[in-house]
Amino acid sequence: MPTLPWTVPNTPPQGAEVHVFASRFETRTLWGALRFLARTPAVWRQAGRAPGAYGATLRAQPLRRTFWTLSAWESADALKAFARSGAHRPASRGLSAQMRDATFTAWQATADELPVSWEEAVRRLEAVRRLR
C-alpha cells in the first residue's frame, strides 16, 4: 500500500496554531497487519470529514507489519473526539491485541508549516522510542 497523500478536510486559518499528532504501529503478525489494512478505509473516510481535522496521511509497510499516521488538528480535543467516535473507536479497540508496539507523539505547529513532512514525524517518533 503506498503512502496516502496529505488530505485536507478543513482548511486552517492562516497562521493558526495546530495540534500535530504522529503514531507508529507495529503488529505482532502479518494477520494483524492485514486486519489493520482492512479497517483503514473506514477510518480514512472518517478522518476526511472529521470536524477540526486540518490534514492527515498514512504510511504503510504491511509486509513489515508497520504503519504510521500523521495528522493535524484544530486542537487536542478535536483529535480526542475523532479517536473516540466513528470507525476509529472500534478499530483501535479491536486491533489493540494485535499490536506489538505503538508509539505516539504530539506537538504544536502553525498552519503555515502544513503539511508536516514524514521526516519530521519519524524523527519525533524515534526520539520518543529512544526514551523508553
What confidence score (pLDDT) does residue 132 get?
86
- Look up the domain containing 52 and give its range: 4-131
- What's the number of domains the chain is made of? 1
String of DSSP letters for the chain: -PPEEEE-SSPPPTT-EEEEEEEEEEESSHHHHHHHHHHHHHHHHHHTT-TTEEEEEEEEEGGGTEEEEEEEES-HHHHHHHHTSTTHHHHHHHHGGGEEEEEEEEEEEEGGGPSPPHHHHHHHHHHHHHH-
Span 45-78, pLDDT tens digits: 999 999 999 999 999 999 999 999 999 999 999 9
What confidence score (pLDDT) does residue 1 get?
64
Domain containing 117 — which CATH number? Answer: 3.30.70.100
What confidence score (pLDDT) does residue 52 get?
97
Span 6-40, pLDDT tens digits: 999 999 999 999 999 999 999 999 999 999 999 99
